[in-house]
Amino acid sequence: VSSEWIRDLIEKSKLIQSNSARSDVARAVRSRPDTIGDEAMLKMLLDWASGEDNPKRETPEEIDTVILPNTNDHNDGWVHRAINTVRGNALEALIFSALDRERPRTEFLWKVIQTFVHDPSITMRCVALNGLACWQNETTDKQSTISLFRQTV
C-alpha cells in the first residue's frame, strides 16, 4: 500500500508542521520501514533532513558544550544533539528505513550518506557516519566506505 496519501496529509496538515510532530513522524517511519517507509515517505524524510532548520554549523562555544566531560566518546553527544532536531531525526529515520527492510535500499542510501557527510553541521555528519557504518554492514564495498570516511574526518 502506497503511503503517498499519508505524505499528502502530513504536508497539508498545519499540526504536523511543528518540529516535534515531524520528529514523531520520522520515528514512526523508522519503526515501520516496510509498511510506511516507501518512496513517498523516504523523499519526505530526505526533504526534512535537507531542511534549513537546525542544526547548522556549530560555533566554537557550542562545540565546547557538546563534548562530554570525563569521557573520550564525543560522538554520543553529537548524535544525541542531532536526533533532538528535525533534520537529525529525519536523517536517522531515513537511514534505518532504507536498511531495515526485506530488500535494503543500499544504492539510494549511499547517495544520501555521501551528501550528509559533507554537511556543515558536525551533528549531521555524525548521524551520516553512523549510517555509513550501518551501510557497510549491508554491503561488501569496504573500499568505498574507507574512502568516504577519510573524506569526512
Section 5-23 average pLDDT: 69
What DSSP letter does each residue of the chain carry, written as one string? ---HHHHHHHHH-GGGGSHHHHHHHHHHHHH-HHHH-SHHHHHHHHHHHTSSSS--SPPHHHHHHHSPTT-S--HHHHHHHHTTSHHHHHHHHHHHHHHSSSS--HHHHHHHHHHHTT-S-HHHHHHHHHHHHHHHHH-S-HHHHHHHHHHH-
pLDDT grade for 26, boundaries at 50, 70 and 90: confident
pTM comes to 0.73
Section 31-50 average pLDDT: 76
Section 68-90 average pLDDT: 66
